[in-house]
Structure 1
Amino acid sequence: MMFSSFLVATSSIHACMLLLFLLILVSYTPCESFVQSFIIPHKSCIIKEPIYRPIYRYQTNTHWTLNVGTESSSEKILRETIQKENEGDGQEPDLEPDVVKESKAEQTQPVKTYTVPAHYVKPRPKPRFLLEKAFEIYDDFTYPSSAESLTPSASAPTALTPPPPSTSIKPSPHIVILGTGWGAASFLKTTASTPLNITCISPRNFFLFTPMLAGASVGTVEPRSITEPVRSLNPSSQFLEATSKSVDLKNKIIECESVTCEGNSCEISTFNVSYDVLIISVGASTNTFGIPGVLENCNFLKSIEDARRVRTGIVNCFERASLPGLSVERVKEILTFAVIGAGPTGVEFASELRDFVEEEGPKYYSSVLPYVSIKVIEASSTILAPFDSELQKKAISELTRFSFKGGRAITELMLSSGVKEITPTEIELNDGRKVAYGLSVWAAGNGPMQFTLGVIEGLEEEQKDRQNIARGRLAVDPWLRVVGGDGSVLALGDCACNAEDVLPATAQVAGQQGEWLGKMCRRGYDFCPEGTVVGRDMPPPSSSSGSPTIAEKISSPAPGVACAFQFLNLGILAYTGGGSALAQVQITEDKAVKSSGSLGFGLWRSVYLSKQVSGRNRLLVAVDWFKTKIFGRDITRL
């Protein structure tokens, strides 16, 4: 017992002596290394000593300064030490307030930029990328909803660890997405089961399956079969039927305009919508290349209204040509259908139109069938540029085949023929030839939206520097953040372009971008991480929402860091008429599985049917195909 008491007493004495030694050391030791170990050399650091007031510490190059008022003994010794250090370098002690120093430092110090590590944006190898996609499907189907996948219940699988409990509830950022095209629809569907604060703004309240516009323009499918109300894609989101006129990037406000028409009167109302995160998915407009007469005299295939207009125009041409008293030359002019552009849209429309002539013509317009012609005008030397040359030749063979037994080819390909001007009755080519027509359809490319050009003007110079590649589209970084902004504005689809990895303006690209962005928002990734500088390269989006999913573990370049968007090229399809289609399915960058004819047609129909956004659309499209096969196309004009 005495020995135990002795140990306790000895320990107490040692503890008191150690505490006294530390107090003396803190008060009197003028050692720079000791001072630096206790005082962090940072301009915003505040050190609080027991009993005494705060000491504000600031470092300018290698000179230490201290700002104090009435000094204690320890502060006085520390101050004298710092003064001696500065005097050794020939400088006077700096007694300016820290606020003034911070302001001066911000003015004199160069703006720091962030350099994205190369492996953050390097494309993942194809096998790893496919494995990531497979586990994305697994992660999505492991839990009944996205919310449960982030915070599983006790009975749910434990593949994901819920985030630690937070003492404060952070409000969900207000996400505003502009548009209802492929990118926006994929984003809304991906976030449908997640409690996010989302507002969608668009002048049309439906999603349109654009690859089937050619079929809708001749009556193969009905317009309502390829449209889906946008409100049904994400019932928890808010939808505003309005046009976005401009964006105040500094104050994060969108100016909108809504037009409501009843009878012959229209009411225009304007309002503003604020946002925390803005996603621009407004698509693209028609590119006329500055050719006179295109806008005034041509039809387009960009909207459901365009398809209805073309469908009515085709029937009008046949009805006009059937009137008595017309010369043969005049009938030929009326029944000449000009398609400008031999890309997928132009070729598919020409093919659908030929199907209409071959299948409905003998029943309704047999007297004028010998005078029908379809002219496909293309500035380049080939058609369907994205396809392999072997498939291009098969498409040319299919398009120019004879349409009737012992008849003639009604489709003529006019390659290497640039358009100079279009009048109400003629198309003048660059080589001087003139083509008289009854109906013309322009399918020659995309151009920028006026809204997109306005956003570009409001961004920093880094955005304008990349316009030599973006060409009227919003230049984005690998995470789809608009270059020249602060990270709160993102863009996808036809209105966006990554200058370092230019992707084709297709529905496939926009759909994958919308799905990827939806998953990033669903997982709580911050697209404006700390350290972001307006107009500079930004740190990658980061997340701290618990343990990552299996797919994230595979794809993420670093813990908590979002993987860059990577496009998975699934291939391309094109209908060439007469129950024939082209299919080019990519296996690697250089290898693809190619098919045409009936096999390609079966693949084309199955893919288009499966890619419909709802079961309702799949059923309606299948019924339309069946009706067309049994009863033919409806030629009534309503």
Structure 2
Amino acid sequence: MTIASFFTRASRALKSTSPFCSNFLLLCALSGGGVVALSESQSEAQHPKIEDREPRKKKVVVLGTGWGATSFLKGLDASLYDVQVVSPRNYFAFTPLLPSVTCGTVEARSIVEPVRNIIKKTNGEIKFWEAECIKIDAADKKVLCRCNIENLVGSGEFSLDYDFLVVAVGAQVNTFNTPGVKENCHFLKDVEDAQKIRLSVIDCLEKAVLPSQSEEEQRSNLHFVVVGGGPTGVEFAAELHDYIQEDLIKLYPSVKDKVKITLIQSGDHILNMFDERISSFAEQKFTRDGIEVQTGCRVLSVNDQEITMKVKSTGSVCSVPHGLIVWSTGICTVPVIRDFMQEIGQAKRHVLATNEWLRVEGCENVYAIGDCSSINQRKIKDDIIDIFKAADKNNSGTLTIEEFQEVMDDIIVRYPQVEYYLKKKNILDLRVLWNDPQGNEREEIDIEGFKLALSLADSQVKSLPATAQVAAQQGAYLANCFNRIDHIEEHPEGPRRFTGSGHHNFRPFSLHSSHQSL
């Protein structure tokens, strides 16, 4: 066999065994003891050009593992993006059941799921980093993070680049800078909080049955105070009542008549963010159950023995002893969000402001969902002239009933407050708005009549409640948009642009549709 035929066969063998080995054929040169690398030429089809390679996936960074973030991750087609999740909490908690955990109705392990279990079930690869975001740099599209795990070797700080940022960090309890709250009150925001409350309730009962305790001391130890008449406070008070009446009085019968639960609310009613009928029902139920509801009261200070409050109607100040206080008076932004709002010109707001498509106002490709943000819903009155001009196709200065109904279809989608208004007033036929104030049917309507017909709709612009349902729907909506963002420009699905041309890419977010977002 000649040397030439040997290398010909060797080259064929390398090709058949490995496409990588066929690129180079190493020849041992006897003279000089060197190794000579002979490159074998291949066709252009075997050498893909740079432009033919798979394009870089856009980076999506998600901050948080709560309801909004988890809903977004579950709905997102992660194969379309390079997705990274950052959160100091490596699990998702089913927070509506936290009050049940405080009383042992539900075990803590039953309401949590590790984040890594969630992301491994998604379509595509998602990376998770157990760390806290400490700075958002929207100008350079970076987030600075810090890992707070104990005994970490080396630096725990790192930065991540992003093309899209989804902020879902939630919020923290608002103490209103009330003296003594942080030191002497329990919060109910996480699983650890619920477990601490459960232990404290038992401790109060154990202290009360000690033989050294006087009746006054027993009543003090068994006075459970809930500050805040929102969903969390009301649910906890109800759970605690059932826990005591159904379980604990059997274990501590000697003090069953000394237990007292008081709910303190600064407003006139509890659950005042919901329908009045819900609020009234809850108050009546608490009264029947023996739970004392004190509305119109503001807490001035708290110490380890007493809680001091002021009655707004009379101005009187009183102090009452307590065994345990759960503080649930609302939420406020976390430090990283406050700093971010300062940088983007939203320092005067309470939470991050987004548009109806959940994009943070003043930031490109930054979205915010859940408790850390609020939708800045545009009002109809701001666009009423442009809307009328768009509807008046023949420039007659008036609208026919057909033109009115056609533009109303777009208005209802673009301005969700109109739909809320129609439902609240039980208006099923849009011609009710078309009629004049006396109820007579018009032949046509001018700009003033058009303004009058829609004037009350803006009164329905309200902030969405900070609930798990809202955050979950926002996350699902945003994921749906992300999955189709590259294809929607050619086929927009949103309403007509009244202050420009064309249509919006997507429908605005509406709480009424869990499958639609933004």
Aligned residues with identical type, % of pairs: 37
Name the counterpart of 2:137. Answer: 248
Structure 2: how far apart are the matches of 1:247 and 1:433? Answer: 45
Q: Is the 8 A contact 1:277 1:489 kept in 2?
A: yes
TM-score by length of 2: 0.67
Q: Distance in 1 between matches of 2:504 and 2:264?
A: 49
Segment of structure 1 superposing worse, 363-372 or 475-484: 475-484
1:226-283, Cα deviation, whole Å (9 max, x unpaired): 1111122222211000011112222222111112226xx8976111111111111111
1:220 aligns with 2:100: no
CA change 1:556–1:518 in 2 (3 A) is farther
Q: Equivalent residue for 2:292?
A: 412
The equivalent residue for 1:568 is 511
CA distance in 2, matches of 1:251, 1:218: 47
Aligned to 1:256, what secondary structure does the other structure show? Answer: strand
Task: Note the C-alpha offset of 1:169.
Answer: 4.3
Q: Select 1:543's aligned residue among 485, 489, 507.
A: 489
Corresponding residue number in structure 2 for 1:476: 354
RMSD over aligned Cα atoms? 2.4
Q: Take 2:127 and 2:496, find their aligned partners in 1: how far apart are those partners?
A: 32
Query: 1:145-544 counterparts in 2 under 5 A?
Result: 169-192=54-77, 194-235=79-120, 236-261=125-150, 269-402=156-289, 409=290, 411-430=291-310, 431-459=316-344, 461=345, 463-464=346-347, 467=348, 470-471=349-350, 473-485=351-363, 487-500=364-377, 502-525=463-486, 543-544=489-490
Q: Which amino acid aligns with 1:508?
A: Q
Deviations 1:501-548 (A, max 9, x none): 53222212111111111111111349xxxxxxxxxxxxxxx635xxx5
Q: Which letter does structure 2 place at the counterpart of 1:423?
A: N
Contact 1:191 1:234 in 2 (8 A): no
Contact 2:135–2:145 (8 Å) recurs in 1: yes
With over 3 angstroms needed to count, the CA separation of the structure-2 counterparts of 1:397 and 1:246, relative to structure 1, is same
How far apart are the structure 1 equivalents of 2:158 and 2:329?
Answer: 36
The 8 Å contact of residues 493 and 507 in structure 2, kept in 1 or not, is answered as: no
Aligned equivalents of 1:213, 1:202: Cα separation in 2: 20
CA drift of 1:570 comes to 8.0
Question: SS of the counterpart of 1:400?
Answer: helix
Report if aligned partners of 1:524, 1:543 keep a CA contact under 8 Å in 2. yes
Q: Do the aligned residues in 1 keep the contact of 2:357 with 2:509 (CA within 8 Å)? A: no
Name the aligned partner's letter for residue 470 of structure 2.
V
3-state SS in 2 of match to 1:394: helix
Q: Look up the equivalent residue of 1:363 and give its one-letter code.
A: K
Give the direction of change, closer, same or farther, for the CA distance of 1:214–1:543 in structure 2 (3 Å limit).
Answer: same
Looking at structure 2, the residues matched to 556 and 190 of structure 1 have their Cα atoms a distance apart, in angstroms, of: 27
* Deviation of the 1:499 alpha carbon: 2.4
Equivalent residue pairs, number: 368
Paired with 1:556 and 1:269, the residues of 2 have a C-alpha distance of 48
- 1:259–1:268 CA contact under 8 A, matched in 2: no
Contact 2:356 2:376 in 1 (8 A): no
321-330 or 475-484, which moves further after superposition?
475-484
Partner amino acid for 2:237? A
**Deviation readout 1:30-82 (Å, 9 max, x if unpaired):** xxxxxxxxxxxxxxxxxxxxxxxxxxxxxxxxxxxxxxxxxxxxxxxxxxxxx
1:388–1:346 distance in 2 versus 1, CA, 3 Å:
same
Runs of 5+ consecutive residues of structure 2 not aligned to the other structure: 1-50, 311-315, 378-460
Could you tell me how far 1:556 is from its partner in structure 2? 8.0
Greater CA radius of gyration, 1 or 2? 1
Moved more, 314-323 or 253-262: 253-262
Query: TM-score, normalised to structure 1's length?
Result: 0.55
After TM superposition, the runs of 4+ consecutive aligned structure 1 residues lying more than 3 A away are 166-170, 192-195, 265-268, 552-561
